[in-house]
Each structure stands twice: as C-alpha cells, then as structure tokens.
C-alpha cells in the first residue's frame, strides 16, 4: 500500500507524484479537508509554470538543488501558513483569557469594606482625590472622583469613626443640587481607630458631572456632620 503524507499536497498539486502516489493521495483528499483546501493554493503555482519544460529550469549538468526548488518553495509556503494559523490561535487564546479575566474582575471588583486592608485599598481610590480631617470630630475622609458618561464615579475612604452609626455620603453641586452617593453602617469597633485600624472604603455614584461638583458631606442619618470634603 502506498504511504500518504500530508506534506504530499504540494507535490500532488504540482504534478510531481507518480501514478500510484497520485491515486493514493486523491483517496486521502476525500477525507482530509486541510489538504483539500491547500491543493487550490498550490495548483495556482502550477498554472504559473504550465507549459514550461523541466529542462528549461535546469542548468547543464542538472543540479539536484534546482530540481527540488519548486517542492522546497511549496514546503516553505506550507510552513508559513502553519505558522500563521498558530499565531492566530495563540492570539485567540489571549483574547479569551483576557475576557475571562475581565469577567471575573468585574464580578469581584465591588469591594467589601471590611476586607480592604493595607496597600490594596489604595488601588480602589482612582481618579482625582480630595481629603479632609474634621478638627471637631477627628474624622478623616478621602474622596476619589472619576468622570463617567453617566455622571461621576465616587470612592470614599473613611477613618477615625466609631459606631454604632448609620451614615451617608451626599454630593452637592455648584447649583445647590444634592444627591445621596452611598449609605452604610459603622459597627461598634469603628474604622481607622485604635483596635480597628483599617479604614472603610466604599464606592458610589452621582449623576452630577465632576466639573459641577462643589463638596461632599459625611453625615449620620440624624443629620450630624462628621466631615465636609470640598472639591
């Protein structure tokens, strides 16, 4: 039985196979979509040299390296196509991996205030930041602002507060408009105080554009102001 190789596609398309080899390869083409697809490409090369006598391609005496020129050129084309497919597959894998990373990151990106410790919490304070420490209450607030198409993304870091308290962060615009950005509860142990040094970090948003914001207030739900952050 004549042995068939995928590499024979170039020789077949260029008419370089013997009769038995050609018949065997044609049977192979019936079940191999890859080789069948490549035959057309190499057949076009065959059309370019149609009518050229092999002796016209050879010096005298014949040089074996020149005799195999077309086969080697066809093999090089196959390697180029294989490399291209490999690079495209690798690029596709990178795109899929990036999509998975972004999907996981979006699901886990909403911070749990009680789980934000050390330097990692500073990664959540994006955009332009403004801070204040209220001399009367000892509360320190840092507000981070980032422009969005829908308004302004607001991040808050809060320290120096003990509970139990129910609080809210309110945004005020230059025109006097106000919107509650976020609300939260402070446990008895508090945030950013001795015995509980980690700050509270949370995120919210306001429809007010960053350019129209005037200040933020950190208040208890009964109206007591803990700190005012001017922006």
Question: What is the pLDDT averaged over residues 90-115?
Answer: 49
Q: Where is pLDDT greater, at 121 or 38?
A: 38
Band (pLDDT 50/70/90 cuts) for residue 8 is low
- Work out the end-to-end distance of the chain between its first and last CA atoms, rounded to an integer number of angstroms: 84
What ranges do the domains of the chain cover?
Answer: 8-104, 113-230
What are 53-85's pLDDT values in tens digits? 555 545 555 555 545 555 666 666 666 666 655
Q: Is 56 left (phi over 0), alpha (psi -120 to 50) or beta?
A: alpha
Q: Considering the domain 113-230 in this protein, what is its CATH number?
A: 2.60.40
Burial letters 83-119, b for 16+ CB under 10 A, else e: eeeeeeeeeeeeeeeeeeeeeeeeeeeebebeebeee
Report CA-CA distances (Å) from 90 to 87, 96, 100, 101, 170.
Answer: 5, 10, 15, 16, 48
């Amino acid at each position: 039985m004549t042995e068939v190789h995928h590499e024979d596609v170039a020789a077949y398309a260029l008419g370089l196979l013997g009769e038995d080899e050609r018949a065997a390869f044609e049977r192979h083409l019936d079940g191999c979509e890859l080789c069948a697809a490549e035959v057309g490409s190499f057949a076009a090369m065959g059309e370019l040299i149609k009518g050229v006598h092999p002796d016209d391609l050879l010096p005298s005496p014949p040089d074996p390296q020149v005799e195999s020129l077309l086969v080697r050129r066809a093999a090089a084309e196959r390697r180029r196509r294989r490399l291209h497919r490999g690079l495209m597959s690798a690029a596709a894998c990178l795109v899929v991996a990036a999509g998975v990373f972004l999907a996981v990151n979006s699901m886990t990106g909403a911070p749990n205030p009680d789980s934000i410790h050390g330097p990692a919490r500073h990664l959540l304070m994006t955009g332009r930041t403004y801070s204040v420490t209220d001399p009367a209450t000892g509360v320190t607030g840092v507000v981070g602002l980032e422009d969005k198409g829908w308004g302004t993304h607001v991040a808050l870091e809060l320290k120096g507060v003990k509970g139990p308290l129910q609080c809210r962060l309110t945004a005020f615009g230059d025109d006097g408009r106000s919107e509650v950005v976020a609300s939260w509860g402070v446990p008895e142990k508090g945030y950013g105080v001795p015995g509980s040094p980690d700050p509270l970090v949370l995120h919210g948003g306001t429809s007010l554009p960053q350019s129209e914001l005037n200040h933020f207030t950190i208040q208890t739900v009964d109206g007591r102001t803990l700190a005012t952050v001017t922006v």
